[in-house]
Amino acid sequence: MRRVDEAVREVVGSVLTGEITDPRLGFVTVTEVRTTSDLRHARVYVSVLGSPEEHAASLAALTSAAGVLQAHIGRELRLKRTPTLEFVLDETAQWVGRLDDILADGETRS
Give domain 2-109's CATH superfamily.
Answer: K homology (KH) domain (3.30.300.20)
Residue 46 near residue 108 (C-beta atoms within 8 A): no
Global pTM reads: 0.82
The pLDDT, as a whole number, for residue 98 is 73
CA distance 27 to 25: 7
- What pLDDT, in 10s, does the model give residues 17-69? 988 889 999 899 999 999 999 999 999 999 998 888 999 999 999 999 999 99
Strand, coil or helix: 107: helix
